[in-house]
Chains A and B, each alone.
Chain A
Amino acid sequence: MSDGDAMGERFREFQRQLAERGDPAGPAAGQPASRTERGVREPGSRDWAPQTQRARPGDRGRRNREAINVPPAEFSSYYGRPILKPPVWKHDIAAYLFTGGLAAGSSLIAAGADLTGRPTLRRAARITSLGAVVASTYFLINDLGKPARFHHMLRVAKPTSPMSIGTWILSAFGPAAGVAAVAELGPLLPERGVLGLARRVSSPAGRIAGLAAAATAPALATYTGVLLADTAVPSWHDAYPDLPFLFAGSALVGASGAALIAAPPTETGPVHRLAVAGAAMELVAERRIEHGMGLSSEPYQQGLGGRLTRLSRALLLGGVAGALVGRRSRLLSMLSGAALVGSSLATRFGVFHAGVDSAKDPKYTVVPQRERLERKGSAPGA
């Protein structure tokens, strides 16, 4: 591949790209001026300071409120290239964050419904939980670079690896949720013979399995916050105190939404309260993440991460309001439920993208670390 001809071709291609993309010679408009305007102070790219970029004037309604606590920053970088490797995780992981939360929240609802005698709600929530946990497993395996080696996760149990812990949580939760859902088939079995026996044990077995799933559910819904936070990705790591709360809240919201879609209003009273509680948790955590982390908050306000975060909040408020107002109407409940499910999905994708964006731009790595050094009052070495 790397013979002389290939190199020549690359070179010609490079020139073609240059020709296509702009004026053939001379500096591009604007950019290089910064150096001369401000004098050559320090070699390198110190003079470039795009961090002062504010929310664009066209950004309706949120002009200066955002980015206001973000200090204007100058920093050097290696030709503007990222320092960190952006996560190689695909959308599978964002989707998994959602389905994992949905499975966890649903199994809590199922257990509550079981214990308080709400059979339709219980059935719907158990089936949702199983479906979501199956989807979770698919997403997790599909995201691997070598999916056939999924079982290598089971070689070790490592407390320092949230992914290892998560695999074990999922391995405990999955079968329990599975048995609870399959137990719902009990009433369909004949009353006599071996199958009759199975029919009779199905209800207690379902309850035990359902309670076991519910006991592991909170861990399943919150460990994902640690999974993302335990990385060098600035906007994920800095959010570590709040991500588990955000994900716990979002899991309750998503599962409540699914329950509102599937169960009749006569049984969803507790689901409404759960949706409100989940929404409150999510909104508080989200607010802290969106405004309390300095520069690392920026990706939650701008770009795709920002848009998804705002979408999730709009759906959340609309969904909760709709669910409360329309609590007697099946149709309104279903619509509100769909909004809540959508909100949970948007929350997860928003967090995912905010993190990826923060890893792709060197400023989120360099500027906070520089500030930290300045606070410590020492440069490295020297």
Chain B
Amino acid sequence: MVSAESLFGPIDPAPDAGYVDAPPRMGFFTDTSVCIGCKACEVACKEWNLVPDHGLDLLGMSYDNTGALTANSWRHVAFIEQPRPLGAESPALAGTATGPSGSAHLAERASTPPGVPNTDPGLPPAPHPGPAAAMAASPEFLGMPGTDLPGRQERAGQRTDLRWLMMSDVCKHCTHAACLDVCPTGSLFRTEFGTVVVQEDICNGCGYCISACPYGVIDQRKGDGRAWKCTLCYDRLRDNRVPACAQACPTESIQYGPLDELRERAQRRVERLHADGVPEARLYGHDENDGVGGDGAFFLLLDEPEVYGLPPDPIVTTRDLPDMWRRAGLAALAMAGAAVAAFVGRRSA
């Protein structure tokens, strides 16, 4: 029923799951180089999938007030500001004498909020305030929302060029999906399109999938108890329609289609960007020889994955499962052996 091959390495997931005549594997290619951070995808997803509101909070670190993928946010637009001119553009801020409206101090305070956060579910805070401060520390930082007037702080007038990185994150619909492997109820299943979907009428909220996902995607909904995540609009796919987020994206940053086609298109795009002088462009999750057998939703990034909150080299935990069972078997034998020895050892005792 389960062979070692279906736990790791390149496979086509739908036929591997037992579908005969499965349609081609469908997925997303999210090209962050054209994302404008409008969050239309976040909104469209909520509208179509009736995802509950995730509350209102100011995270104080950037224009991103969603914070992370959660049970109530199945698309999340990350926002990063970096001091770096883009390509051959003329300096964007030449001649403007304004100071930062955000500050390290602000980002630091906001990354480890006191008390209960206003978002639902509450976003996990940062364990240390340092990184948020460091990200916001540069004099160029425009991070919003600011509570200081531009120019008021001592670093007024020091701004230089910058770039904004925006990236619409989503469930990766892994080829080897740890969430699906570990689900004890069969609630998570592989669709004929090769995507990974939770059945809300089956899930009993055991939470296993949440600890298993190497990307921190799937999440428990407070008050409801069940696990929720992107379905890649399974209902729309079955109707031959484009997922809501891809449909809503005004710049085609989110592209939907057969995974093979998307991979080719992504390859061309990254080559084009390299030729145009954006050497930092790279694909993430496109490689079927990576630790999860490739992602059904993959990305073109302009910096290291971890800058966007993505793990740099995720490996599906179930790759090691045969070994784990072996070790448990040995431990069980040792335990039984100890018990036998203890009682047989010296009968007189």
Determine which of B133, B186, B282, B335 lies in contact with A32 in the assembled complex, contact meaning CB atoms within 8 Å: B133
Are B290 and A380 in contact, with the CB atoms below 8 A?
yes
Are A27 and B103 in contact, with the CB atoms below 8 A?
yes
- Say whether B323 faces chain A, with CB atoms less than 8 Å apart: yes
Binds B, one of A18-26, A178-186, A202-210, A333-341: A18-26
The residue on B at minimum CB distance from A2 is B56
**Nearest CB of B to A340, in Å:** 14
- Say whether B97 faces chain A, with CB atoms less than 8 Å apart: no
- Say whether B191 faces chain A, with CB atoms less than 8 Å apart: no
Determine which of A35, A82, A160, A270 lies in contact with B343 in the assembled complex, contact meaning CB atoms within 8 Å: A270
- Say whether B277 faces chain A, with CB atoms less than 8 Å apart: no
Determine which of A17, A25, A85, A87 lies in contact with B153 in the assembled complex, contact meaning CB atoms within 8 Å: A25
**Nearest CB of B to A111, in Å:** 8
Give complex CA distance A345, B56 in Å: 40
- Say whether A6 faces chain B, with CB atoms less than 8 Å apart: yes
Against A, the Cβ 8 Å flags (1 = close, 0 = not) of B109-139 are 1110110001000011111111111111110
Are B133 and A380 in contact, with the CB atoms below 8 A?
no
Give complex CA distance A144, B301 in Å: 37
Determine which of B186, B204, B332 lies in contact with A145 in the assembled complex, contact meaning CB atoms within 8 Å: B204
Give complex CA distance A223, B2 in Å: 18
**Nearest CB of A to B275, in Å:** 14
Q: Chain B CB within 10 Å — which of A85, A159, A271 has the most? A: A85
Determine which of B110, B123, B220, B306 lies in contact with A76 in the assembled complex, contact meaning CB atoms within 8 Å: B306
- Say whether A283 faces chain B, with CB atoms less than 8 Å apart: no
**Nearest CB of A to B224, in Å:** 7
- Residue total for B at the interface (Cβ-Cβ under 8 A): 131
Against B, the Cβ 8 Å flags (1 = close, 0 = not) of A357-382 are 00111100110011011000001111
Are B108 and A369 in contact, with the CB atoms below 8 A?
no
Are A380 and B186 in contact, with the CB atoms below 8 A?
no
- Say whether A11 faces chain B, with CB atoms less than 8 Å apart: yes
Give complex CA distance A159, B7 in Å: 11
**Nearest CB of A to B25, in Å:** 20
Determine which of A149, A167, A232, A369 lies in contact with B212 in the assembled complex, contact meaning CB atoms within 8 Å: A232
Give complex CA distance A359, B185 in Å: 24
Q: Chain A CB within 10 Å — which of B2, B80, B282, B327 has the most? A: B327
- Residue total for A at the interface (Cβ-Cβ under 8 A): 122
Tell me the residues in window 225-272 of chain A with beta carbons closer than 8 Å to chain B beta carbons.
Answer: 225-226, 229-233, 236-237, 240-245, 247-249, 251-252, 269-272
**Nearest CB of A to B97, in Å:** 19
Against A, the Cβ 8 Å flags (1 = close, 0 = not) of B191-212 are 0000000000011111110111
Known contacts A25-B153, A31-B104: A274-B131 contact under CB 8 Å:
no
Known contacts A48-B134, A78-B80, A221-B332: A83-B341 contact under CB 8 Å:
no
Determine which of B58, B134, B203, B327 lies in contact with A244 in the assembled complex, contact meaning CB atoms within 8 Å: B327
- Say whether B94 faces chain A, with CB atoms less than 8 Å apart: no
Are A164 and B134 in contact, with the CB atoms below 8 A?
no
- Say whether B166 faces chain A, with CB atoms less than 8 Å apart: no
- Say whether B62 faces chain A, with CB atoms less than 8 Å apart: yes
Are A237 and B206 in contact, with the CB atoms below 8 A?
no
Are A11 and B145 in contact, with the CB atoms below 8 A?
yes
Q: Which residues of A are at the interface with B, using a C-beta cutoff of 8 A?
A: 1-2, 6-7, 10-11, 13-15, 17-18, 20-23, 25-28, 31-32, 34-35, 40, 43-45, 47-48, 50, 75-89, 104, 108-109, 111-113, 115-116, 143-147, 149-150, 152-153, 155-156, 158-164, 167, 214, 217-219, 221-223, 225-226, 229-233, 236-237, 240-245, 247-249, 251-252, 269-274, 277-278, 281, 359-362, 365-366, 369-370, 372-373, 379-382
Q: Which residues of B are at the interface with A, using a C-beta cutoff of 8 A?
A: 1-2, 7, 53, 55-58, 60-62, 67-68, 78, 80, 82-84, 103-111, 113-114, 118, 123-138, 145, 147-148, 152-154, 163, 178, 181-187, 202-208, 210-220, 224-227, 270, 280, 282-284, 286-287, 290, 301, 303-314, 317-318, 320-321, 323-325, 327-336, 338-343, 345-347, 349
List 26 A-B pairs, Cβ < 8 Å. A23-B105, A25-B148, A32-B134, A43-B163, A78-B309, A79-B62, A80-B111, A80-B128, A80-B132, A83-B215, A88-B210, A143-B206, A149-B185, A161-B182, A162-B324, A219-B328, A221-B332, A221-B335, A222-B335, A225-B328, A231-B178, A249-B335, A273-B349, A274-B342, A366-B312, A379-B304
CB-based closest 3 A-B pairs? A145-B205, A145-B225, A269-B349
